[in-house]
A and B are shown apart, each in its own frame.
Chain A
Amino acid sequence: MPKWFTPVAFICAAMFAFSPLVIANADYESTMGLVQKIFYYHMPSAWMFLVAAMVCGVASIRYLVSGDLRHDRTALAAGELLVVFGLLTLVTGPLWARKAWGTFWIWDARTTSSLVSWMIGCAYLILRRYGGPGSEKLAAALALFGMANVPFIYISVNYWRTIHPATSVVPKLPFTMGLPLWYCVISFSLLFYLLLKMRVRLEEQRATLDSLYLSLDEQH
């Protein structure tokens, strides 16, 4: 790993350790009260989920166009992060909704499209794991569907009548609620980048290992 990785990882860990204090000092929302504080982890997770889907899709396009395996490794790393951050979003959201809406789940446009996108991410990983030789291109095509779903997930709350808050909530946040949110967004973004680098590194090492095995076969 590069030299800067360890210090940045420490900064990221410190930011996460300090985040409960920052969130505890945030103002309570008037109607939802304490449970609304799930928002400070739920929303950054959801953003990273969408970012992962975009990175996976863009890297897949670049792989399909150029055939460069580096893009394929990035797509695979982002695909795994899509599933991790999607899982966090799909678990923290219902925990918040149980108190705020009185139910764990509603089949509105955003929750349903998020679930579909997460399942596309799972399908991508399953295809990569068990698809056999040549499954990379098929999986890359699948990643494009995951990426195409991202704008739909984002704008769905503005076009469909739903109890999910609209996208206008974040720009209108007062400073006392905006500061902890952006603090958490920076922490999650940093963590996302570090995990992506680690996961890409793993794929690079696996490629090195494959080439070493081939060299060993040629020696014998």
Chain B
Amino acid sequence: MALVKRTVAMTLLLLACLTVPRAAVAQPAQGGSPKQTNEYVPISQLPPQDQLPAAPLLIAAYSFVLIVFFLYVVSLARRLSSVQRDVDRLGATLKPGSKP
């Protein structure tokens, strides 16, 4: 009985000795050198979100903001000058002695 137990224990120890180093080799060390590149992937094969260039989106966003500001300021200035003109015209009409 003792012989059977000893044999089983020795077998398990032998198996452990054989498998643990292989498992350690298979697991790359954390923080080690980057994974070796085995192939180059053309950009056309990447998913669409990775292919998309950032510059046109950035330029579009900044241009849109500046154009909207410009148009809004022009619109406000035109509305203000138009109302101011009407105020001046009516003010002149209402002055005593002037023709309506």
Contact = CB atoms under 8 A, between A and B. Distances in A.
Interface in A136-193: 191
A38 B80 contact: no
B68 interface: yes
Given A20-B62, A41-B62, A91-B64, A99 B52 contact: yes
A38 B90 contact: no
B87 A209 contact: yes
B19 interface: no
A220 interface: yes
B90 A212 contact: yes
A67 interface: no
Given A201-B80, A202-B79, A216-B100, A41 B61 contact: yes
A113 interface: no
A198 B91 CA distance: 21
A103 B73 CA distance: 32
Nearest to B84: A205
B47 to A, nearest CB: 8
Nearest to A92: B61
Main secondary structure of the interface of A (DSSP, over half): helix
Contact of B60 (A95, A103, A191): A95
B94 A38 contact: no
B50 to A, nearest CB: 9
Given A35-B54, A202-B83, A209-B90, A195 B62 contact: no
Prevailing SS type, chain B contact patch? helix
A205 B100 contact: no
B33 interface: no
Given A205-B87, A216-B90, A220-B100, A45 B72 contact: no
Contact of B54 (A34, A88, A102): A34
B72 A34 contact: no
A53 B93 CA distance: 40
Interface of A: 16, 20, 33-35, 37-38, 41-42, 45, 84, 87-88, 91-92, 95-96, 98-99, 101-103, 191, 195, 198-199, 201-202, 205-206, 208-209, 212-213, 215-216, 219-220
7 contacts: A16-B66, A34-B58, A35-B58, A92-B65, A96-B61, A99-B49, A199-B76
Interface of B: 47-49, 52, 54-55, 57-58, 60-62, 64-66, 68-69, 72-73, 76-77, 79-80, 83-84, 86-87, 90-91, 93-94, 100
The 10 A-B residue pairs with the shortest CB-CB distance, nearest first, are: A102-B49, A35-B54, A34-B54, A212-B90, A205-B83, A92-B61, A95-B61, A38-B61, A95-B57, A41-B65
